Chains A and B, each alone.
Chain A
Amino acid sequence: MSGHTHNADDRRELQMARSMCWHCQSEMAGEYFCDRCVKVQPVSKDLDYFTCFGLPRRLAIDTQVLESKFYELSRAFHPDFYQNKSDAEQSISLGNSAMLNTAYRTLRDPIQRAEYLLDLEAGSVKDIRTSPPADLFEEILELQETLDEFRESDRSSEHASTLRAKLHTDRTNLEERQRDMEAKLQQLFSRWDALQDRGEATEQARAERTLILKDMRDILSNRTYVKNIVNDLVATIA
């Protein structure tokens, strides 16, 4: 119960922070700067990265637009331009810049962008997979065995070079799988964007939405799992 009241307070506080200038206390209409006293305003904590860059919540984004908006906001927030300002403004500039940099890094990368969108839409933190995905189970168990055997082998022996050759093939196969997954993700991204563009509120659209998000989450966590295995493999045979 106490948790509830706390959240409500938090929300009210945020509401206040957003609607009132911290400096002159006037009603805020401007986005990041107060219209009246022109002081920089702290970016609200519940502002999502898409909104921050003025972009729709889509998975295909125009990276040129993203970049130019990033540069524009960097010019607005960067601490370099607040050296002669008050401590309060310097601290807002620092916080806003750090948030902006995180937002840009997240949206610039298609995978991180999708993970972030999934978090926003489904409110779920990324699944961390600890066992191989079903369709790769056998393959990965065998690979682990080969890796162990290789680690214990005498690297100059003929046996080791046979194992190394096998591991190279496994690596190629896994990288192929990773690319497959990325292609599937691309399809899901397009489906997501199309669904959003249609903006239907039907039962069917809702079911489609849930399905896309679920598939996206599964493939993203499988991809991360496979990527980690490949990294481990590359480090071992290097």
Chain B
Amino acid sequence: MARIVGIDLGTTNSLVAYMDKGTPRVISARHERAMVPSVVALTDNGLIVGDPAKEHLTRNPERTVYSVKRFMGKSLADVQGELAYFPYTLTEKGGVIRIQLGEKSYSPPQISAMILKELKLRAEAFLGESITKAVITVPAYFNDSQRQATKDAGMIAGLEVLRIINEPTAASLAYGLQKKTQGTIAVYDLGGGTFDISILKLKNGIFEVLATNGDTHLGGDDFDQLIADLLLKDIRAQHGLDLSTHPDHMQAVRLQAERAKIRLSEELKTTVSLDLPDGQGRFSRELTRDQLEALCIPLVERSLGPCRLALKDSGLNPTDIDEVVLVGGSTRMPLVRQRVQALFGKEPHCELNPDEVVALGAAVQADILSGGTTDMLLLDVTPLSLGIETMGGVMSSLIRRNTTIPASAKEMFTTYVDGQTGVDIHILQGERELAKDNRSLARFRLKVPPLPAGVPRIEVTFLIDANGILNVMAKDMRTGETQSIEVKPSYGLSDQEVERMIEDSFKFAADDVSARKVIEARLDAGALITTTEKSLTDGGHLVEAEEIAKIRAALSALAAAKEGADPRAIRGRMADLEQAAKGLTVAMLDDSLKQGLQGKKISDVT
């Protein structure tokens, strides 16, 4: 079976890992970090991803997308409150958010697909084979729409997503594999944008999730925002400047806030400084760890509520937890560690690199799916209750939260009116009493043969598969006929839209390829210019002045072409230059041969 890689598609950073003879390893490109910043920027040379894109955050904020994971599977109304914080423009089409980048707009799965493609390329370059299959991780508390959006992103990137697994459980796989732990563990996962808590029982290679909870809108980004707000307030007070109208400076403030937060995990105080717009001087202030903690404590406390709920749902007390494992970059904050330790009454484990452990776990799961690892099995749960809307707009729960998946529930439907030919079904996800307070997943119309009221009996099976994604089937109990149901997702891309985006991605790929060709041609042209100039300096005396003039002319023609974006023109001028410099090259070769032969005996040469 073809190799399957494991991918951690994070809010801030993404990684790809593979299984190397029973040990999961992350893949890094040559001379680079394994982490690819989850940032996509539109530049004059096309779309770029990762570290180079991150440089555009302050230079080109309106055209640089970060934290796109926050928008996966969401509608514009869902994120209304935070729109002001993002410098790029968000719109909506058919219930799906669109991100404007120059002329075009992209759905969050398309942006995520660009990050996935970068990881795919890295893996292919490293492993020397084509990669078409992957396991991708998502926050455990992601709902059906968010999972589906992640799966769509994989498809758009040319990856068959064999499994969507939850980040904390992925981490537990990597942790369990390394530590050979048995017993009950709690995985506290605070990442860039999301928070998850999962409680698992590890026994003889079975990883059974007992309960999971979380907050898909709580993470390092929120800490950064609080610090940034403080800095902006200070700048306003000290310099009378409102930076909120300067998107590039807003980004600079956000980046400085993030850096200060990271430094304060090691140090007790730090200085934040940044240049103000239009040469209005420099802002600088000191920030202490105490100040940071005072600012962040409400957010950290917010993570403890889900922890208590998960404990309650698993029927355990904090003292029943044998080990606490920390995952996600934000768990490096001393305050987070203290609060977690206080809640569970034991020191949390943080030996594994919290940035890498999720990707490593995804690689372990990939190996299980490809049949490599057979002694480990993950039994995960669905994080949210699934139900349907009943009379009076109330949600009737069919599959409770924290039910082990795959899980199914059957419900019998009938008609209220004679000759009725359809029953409308509204599928919901969430814990609230009223349908309107829960997440609408999909609506569909059940086809019913026209019969007297109450006579038709249609059995609908709701099945949550091992990815945590819902499948619906219907069967007419009178005829035994099964009915395929076309479910229209309430928030998300239809199959046709995904198809079209896959096609588009080939077009982007063509754009990407041409952008790459320009870059490569420029690099090669640069190298040729340098060597030719060196040859002129070293061997100019060996040829006629006329020939030197020809070489100089070809050099400036190439330099001009190098500024343009036509790789064929660049390659053409390179060929011209090589032709013009041929005489010089030959003359220098002859000369060096002559030099080399001097002082040597004939016998040495032959």
Contact = CB atoms under 8 A, between A and B. Distances in A.
A97 B406 contact: yes
B338 interface: no
A83 to B, nearest CB: 5
B379 A74 contact: yes
B377 A79 contact: no
A87 B407 CA distance: 19
Interface stretch (B223-231, B368-376, B592-600): B368-376
Interface of A is mostly: helix
B369 A102 contact: no
Interface in A65-79: 71, 74-75, 78-79
Contact of B162 (A83, A99, A104): A83
A71 B404 CA distance: 12
Contact of B378 (A80, A84, A102): A80
B403 interface: yes
Given A80-B368, A94-B463, A75 B377 contact: yes
Contacts of A168: none
Given A74-B206, A74-B379, A83 B404 contact: no
A83 B370 contact: yes
B408 interface: yes
Contact of A79 (B1, B365, B404, B465): B465
A97 B403 CA distance: 12
B151 to A, nearest CB: 15
B405 interface: yes
Interface residues of B, number: 25
A95 B407 CA distance: 9
A155 interface: no
Choose among B203, B404, B406 the residue with the greatest number of A CB atoms under 10 Å from its CB.
B406
Contact of B408 (A74, A83, A98, A104): A98
B204 interface: yes
A44 to B, nearest CB: 16
B401 to A, nearest CB: 12
Contacts of A162: none
A101 interface: yes
B466 interface: yes
B542 to A, nearest CB: 67
A99 B374 CA distance: 22
Contacts of B408: 95, 98-99, 102
A51 B217 CA distance: 45
B407 A102 contact: yes
Contacts of B378: 80
Contact of A98 (B163, B206, B463): B463
Contacts of B206: 71, 74-75
A81 B369 CA distance: 6
B162 to A, nearest CB: 6
Contacts of B403: 101, 105
Contacts of B404: 101, 104-105
Nearest to A75: B377
Interface in B397-424: 403-408
A231 to B, nearest CB: 11
Nearest to A2: B478
Given A74-B206, A94-B463, A80 B407 contact: no
Nearest to B208: A71
Choose among A71, A74, A98, A105 the residue with the greatest number of B CB atoms under 10 Å from its CB.
A98
A104 B379 CA distance: 13
22 contacts: A71-B203, A74-B206, A75-B377, A78-B466, A79-B406, A79-B465, A79-B466, A80-B163, A80-B368, A80-B377, A81-B371, A94-B406, A94-B463, A94-B465, A94-B466, A95-B408, A97-B406, A98-B406, A101-B403, A101-B406, A102-B407, A104-B404
Interface of A: 71, 74-75, 78-81, 83-84, 94-95, 97-99, 101-102, 104-105
